[in-house]
Each structure stands twice: as C-alpha cells, then as structure tokens.
Structure 1
Amino acid sequence: MSRLFIPEYSITTKILGNISSLEYSKAVIENTAILPSWESKLIKESQIREIYSSLRGEGINLEVEQIKYSYENLAESRVAEVSNFKMAFDYISNNSRSTEVTEQNLCDLNRLFYPASNGAYRNTREPDFPEPDEILAKIVEIFDWLNGRDSYETHPIISASVLKLSLEAIKPFRNFNSATVNFIVILWLKIRNYSLKDCAYLSDYYRKTKQQFEYNVSSIIKEEDDMTGWLEYFSEGLSIEANNLKEKIKLLAKDTKIAKATGQVKLSDRQARIVEYLQDYGLIQNRDFGRIFPDKSEDSILRDLKTLTDLNIVQKVGKTKSSRYELIR
C-alpha cells in the first residue's frame, strides 16, 4: 500500500447486486414491527452466535450452550471471554453516537477482548505482515481515510469492507486480532446506520468460508492491491446475513399480529423475560428464579407466572414445590 491510503477496487455487477439485495432486506427489517421481547431475543441469539464463531477463530472451542449460560449469567462461574465480548457489545452501543471511528476505539476494543494486552499493538514480527514499528503509521492512514470525505461519499458497505480487509492485512494485535477488527467494523456500520437492528455479524460467515477469506487477505498482503474480489466476498456475506434476518423478522411479524389480536402483547419486561427463558430452555421451576432474577422475590415471579397462566401463555405442571411452568404449545 502507498503512504497515502487510497483503496483500489472496481464496482462490479456482483457488488451492485449484493448491495441492492442488502438494501431491500434492510428496508424490510427496519420497517417491520415485531414484539420488543422477540427483537431482544434476536439480538441475543445473534450475539451468542458471533461469540461462538469468534472464539472458535481464536482456538477456544466452547459449546453454544456454555456460551449461552454464561451470557445470561445462569452459569455458576462465568466464562471470562464471554463476559469480555458482552462488554465489547456494550462498548459499541455506547460509542455509536459518534460520527467517527478512531484508532483509540480499535485499541479500546482489543483491551476489552484481551485485558493483558492493554490495547497495545504487537511488538513481535509476524511472517508476511508489516513490521511492528510500521503498524501505527499504517493504521493512522486507514482511519484518516475512513473518517474523510472519500469514505463518507462511498456506500457504507464498501467502506466497511475496505476497513476490514486493510486491518486484517496489518494484523495489529497478537491476540483477538480478528475479533477486534470485526467489532471496529460493527461500530462503523452502526454509526452509518447499517447495523440491521444489531443482528448482523459476519464471523460465522468467515468461519464457514475460511478458504475464501484467507485467499482474499493473502492477496492484499502479497501487494496485490486490487480489493474488488474481497468487496464481492464481503458484500455477499452481509447480503446473505441480511436476507436471513429479514426472513426471520417476517415470520415473527406474523406472530406479532396474532399476539396483538389476542392481547398477549401487553407483557411487562419481567414477564417477557420469563417467556424468552421458556422459549430457550423449555421449562422453569422455583429453584431457577434466583438465577434469572437475583434481585426479585419468589412471590413476585410467581405473580408474573400467574398472569402468564391467566393469559393462556404458560401452564403449570404439578402441584408441589417441584412443579414446573411450560409454554402452552
């Protein structure tokens, strides 16, 4: 890459088709009403999937259920990496009102994923990647471009794609490098209003298309500066993700209409959380109350369950303390 960062690419028919498809899905996603509890569930499921795929990329092979229990604070001991990812998601939300994404954001995110690094760039050589003393200058060039007029006049999917590939080709961090780069891209897309209800993440796509991902990154590392192939790959992945999300939301919208018609939409936050828990785990018992609602009394939760029972959403099975509550199918 030259000292003045100017990404080289061509806009192909495939890229335009991917962006057109994504724009259609985005319009449906943003203009289709679903229950707030179901939207929260979609976000949670998307984040758990992103954590799972990101950790696999780091060689940390946790099962989805392990991540889910830790994410929901239901495990006896929390998994540190899952907690770190949750803090990173919060960081995205807290910094999305900015108009810029900066080098400091990049370092902050790496510090969240891997606190021992303190957000510092790698100080060791990596084969085929820039020398440690070149990293800062290259990253500053990228962010100068990203926050400049050329980038803002470019479609956000194109600028996000350039950002992802350019940082991957530098490998600024020794640990959790890809996760850090992915989240800086997520922050950029959220600032540019392309977060798709905070449900669009690509780590699973990268993991399932690993060979294609590595080929595109290695092409740039080998001084083949044309990013066109990568832009096609990235925009296709985001288009697929957006289309899958669109279809899920369309299905949930039908259920939302039914819920409104039957009056089931008027649930409190706590009642909605109970329904979400039952959707995930099938049943709830008195012994679960303290883990799910540590700051609420058992009587409060039982009153919520009574309300849900009266609404024919939940049924009680059994009559003693060992009784359980299930969703009515």
Structure 2
Amino acid sequence: MYDPHFEITPEILKNIGVIEAARAVIENSPLIPLYERQFQEEATIRKVHFSTAIEGNYLQLEEVKLIVKDVGNSVLSFVDESGAEVIARRRDIHEVINYRNVVKYIERLVKRAKPKSGEDKSPGVGSQNEAETDSAGASGGASTNGDDHTFNLTEDIIFEIHKILLRNIFDEKGGIYREARAVSVNFLTGEKLNPYEGYGNVEIKMHDLIDWYNSENGRSLNPVLKAGLLHLELVRIHPFEEGNGRLARSLATLSLSADGYDVGHFFCLDEYYDSNAKDYYEYLSNGFANPTDWLDYFVLGMAVEFNRVKTKVVKMSKDAKIKERTGQVYISERQEQIIEWLNNNGSLKNSDFDELFPNVSDDTVLREIKGLLDSEIIIKKGRTKSARYELR
C-alpha cells in the first residue's frame, strides 16, 4: 500500500488554520441565489481555463467562457463578444469542453455520495457532450460505507474521468493504462524528464494508491493533505499516456469536494497553479522525493484561494435576515440587481437609476424598490428626490 512520508511543518499548520477559518466564514455567509449561481459559474469557467492553460491550451479566458456556456457546440470557430470570429485548434476546444464536463461529473459524484433525505443518488443521464453518462456503473460510482455515505475512490471513477478528458482527442487511450516509458516535456522550457513510475508497475501502484485513499490511514488524514498527496502520487505514477495533469487536478478537486471542502463550488486551485506554472511543476517534481515540499506549496495555494473566495463572499453576503426574507418572497431580477448595487455602493439614489437601469423608467424602478421596502429588505432615508435607499 502507498505509504507517504512527510512532515507537518509550522507553515502547513498555519495555512490549514487559515483554510478552516475561511471555510467557516464562507459557509456561514448568506448569499442570495443570483450571487451563488454567478459565483459557481465563474469558478467553473476559471477551473476549465486555468487547468487547460497550464498545459498549453491557447484559448483565452473570455473564449473559454463562450465555449463553456455553449458546451454542445464543438465547432472550430465561434464569434466572440465583440463580434470577431475566433478560430481555435480542435484540440483546444475539446479540452475545454471535456474539462467542463469533468467538473460537472465530479459535482454529480459528490452529490450522489452525500444525498439529501429522499434524494436520488444517481446522476442524470443525457448527452455525451454534457458528460451525463455514468459508465462507472454500480461498482465504480461514488460508493458509500454505512450511513455516513463515505466517499470511496475507485479505479472505475478514475477511468471514467480520464475518458471524459480525452473524448474526441484520444478516445482510444481513455481509461487505458500506459504500456510504455513516460517522458515529461516541460512546455515552458522544453526539458525532457523521466521521473515517473515504470510502466510495468503502473497498475499495481494505482491499486496501492486507491487502497490507501480508502483505508483508515487515508480517511483519518486531514482532507487538505489527503487531496494534496493524491494529486502528487497520481502525477508521479503518471498512469496514462495523456492527460495525467488534468486528471490529478480533477481528482484533488473531487477529494476536497467529497470531504466537504467544495465551499459551494466556489474555489479554483487551478488559477493558483497557472499563475506561476514553473513553480507548480518544480514543486511537483521535488515532491516525488520530498512530499513535504509539495504539501507546503499545495496547502499555501488552498489558503490563498480560500481567502480570495472568503473576501468576495463577505463583500457580497447579506445579513441573515435578508437571506431569510428572500426565501419567503419572490425577488425579481431587477430587485436582485438593486441589492447587488447596494452591496457594492452602500446606497442608491434616484440620480443613480439611469446608470443602474438604462432605458427603464423611474416609475418602474420605484415599483421594484417599493417591493424591497415592503419586504423590509431595504430601508429609505430622506424624502422625495433626495431620498436614498440602503440595505437594512
């Protein structure tokens, strides 16, 4: 069985504390549904972009956004928001679509592993482009142990994620362990490396890793450290000919989410890696011999990302009374925009109406405001045209 040896340094302990503190704030900060949807969509787009960009995908963030939002379209060209035609490599587009589908597949696996009362555990079935199929089957899905619905990582889950990642790129290699020597080429430097497990041992080492993950030793480890070690060892084994980096990052996300560290599907570690790809690859390479170095880097990245999410959530969150009230009354799209304006600017005056709602009459805006006043979500200060509105 895989038996990682590492130290829990003061820096690791400090950053785990930062992560836990940020996680508590995020999970207890109420957000209106509009913000939750926007935050989740933004995180998905960032995950897809930065995890593919770090391996040389040429598509820009805004281009990835367009593809993700029209995921059924796999054409080689599309029109961006300025009206210009963007022509992209077939592989780049499929990498984006596939990684987006992996993100959605992971969300369904975690949801099935931790079902709500009376909720169907099975993911939905739909088109391949949306990765709705679940060929992992009964033995390879999000297995559970006992009543606490403990997540089990299986070889079938790993194969299924890998197949999705390589769909329409190298379909014939999806979910098939490599049978040749693996050589890594750092696309930043062109350097060729061979630090990986010999191909004759790949299957054995993968079974060892999976057994460790599901063992008492794996389950008792701090979830952040467990995800970091899973990421590291998967890259070290390099079990497939193609897609190992994306697979490792996907499995780390799956592990964190299954252990309750998805914080509303808001976080994106991939941007941290891509911000300095040279550091990412160096810490991985050094981590093969000294996992502590990699864990220092990995845990710091999580602390940075969780703090980023916390800062944004705190800025956007509302008093618990607002969350309660918005659950009791219908909030229109314009009213959500008014609340967002108040959150960002502190107050709203009649003179702001044109900027907030171009081509909408003042009377219409005032009707939306009256609904928020009646629901006691906002308050009015002052009278007539000098009045201003603030969150209660």
Q: Which residue of 1 aligns with 2:125?
A: none
- What is the TM-score normalised by the length of structure 1? 0.75
Cα 1:212–1:77, aligned 2, differ >3 Å: closer, same or farther? closer
Render the CA deviation track for 1:247-293: whole Å, top value 9, x for unaligned: 1000111499789889997336xx48x96xxx9xxxxxxxxxxxxxx
C-alpha distance in 2, partners of 1:181/1:26? Answer: 23
> What amino acid maps onto 1:144 in structure 2?
D
Match of 1:125 in 2: 181
Give the aligned partner of residue 305 of structure 2: 241
1: CA distance, partners of 2:302 / 2:218: 19
Query: 1:17-67 CA deviation, whole Å, 9 max, x = no partner?
Result: 000010000000111100112111111111111111112123211011111
Which of 56, 68, 81 pairs up with 2:95? 81
- Whether the 8 Å contact between 2:29 and 2:314 is mirrored in structure 1 is yes
Alignment of 1:1-329 (within 5 A): 4-73=1-70, 79-96=93-110, 97=113, 98=142, 99-115=151-167, 116=171, 117-126=173-182, 127-221=194-288, 224=289, 226-254=290-318, 266-267=330-331, 271=333, 311=368
Q: Of the two, which has the highest radius of gyration?
A: 2
Partners of 1:76 and 1:161 in 2: how far apart?
34
Pairwise CA distance, 1:107: 1.4
Aligned amino acid, residue 124 of structure 1? A
Q: Which amino acid aligns with 2:305?
A: E
CA distance in 2 between counterparts of 1:162 and 1:89 reads: 20
Identical aligned residues as a percent: 28
Q: Report the secondary structure of 2:264's partner residue.
A: coil
Is the CA contact (8 Å cut-off) linking 1:105 and 1:184 kept in structure 2?
no
User: Would you say the 8 A contact 1:200–1:242 is kept in 2?
Assistant: yes
Q: Distance in 2 between matches of 1:43 and 1:70?
A: 16
Measure the CA separation in 2 of the matches of 1:104 and 1:175. Answer: 17
| Counterpart for residue 376 of structure 2 | none
- Tell whether the 8 Å contact from 1:53 to 1:207 is kept in structure 2 after alignment: yes
Q: Distance in 2 between matches of 1:155 and 1:75?
A: 38
Cα distance change, pair 216–263 in 1 and its aligned pair in 2 (3 A)? closer
| 8 Å CA contact 2:166, 2:243 repeated in 1 | yes
Larger RCO, structure (CA 8 Å, separation 6 or more):
1
Note if contact 1:35-1:256 (Cα within 8 Å) is conserved in structure 2.
Answer: no
Separation in 2 of the partners of 1:112 and 1:309?
A: 49
**1:120-151 deviation per Cα after TM superposition (whole angstroms, max 9, x unaligned):** 12233122212222111111101111110011
**Alpha-carbon distance in 2 for matches of 1:51, 1:122:** 25
State the aligned residue count.
Answer: 276
User: Residue 285 of structure 1 aligns with which residue?
Assistant: none
Letter in 1 for 2:176: A
Are the structure 2 counterparts of residues 234 and 310 from structure 1 closer, same or farther at C-alpha, using a change threshold of 3 Å? same
CA RMSD of aligned residues (A): 3.1
Evaluate the alpha carbon distance shift between residue 164 and residue 262 of structure 1 in structure 2; reply closer, same or farther with a 3 A threshold: closer
Q: Structure 1 residues 254, 174: closer, same or farther in 2, change over 3 A? A: same
How big is each residue's C-alpha offset from its partner over 1:73-110, in whole Å with a ceiling of 9 and x where there is no partner?
29975643332222212211221113211222111111
Unaligned segments of structure 1, at least 5 residues: 280-305, 314-329
Instruction: Mark the CA change 1:264 to 1:58 in structure 2 (over 3 Å): closer, same or farther.
Output: farther
SS at match of 1:197: helix
Q: 1:232 to 1:85 in 2, by over 3 A?
A: same
Contact conserved, 2:54 with 2:277, CA < 8 A, in 1?
A: no
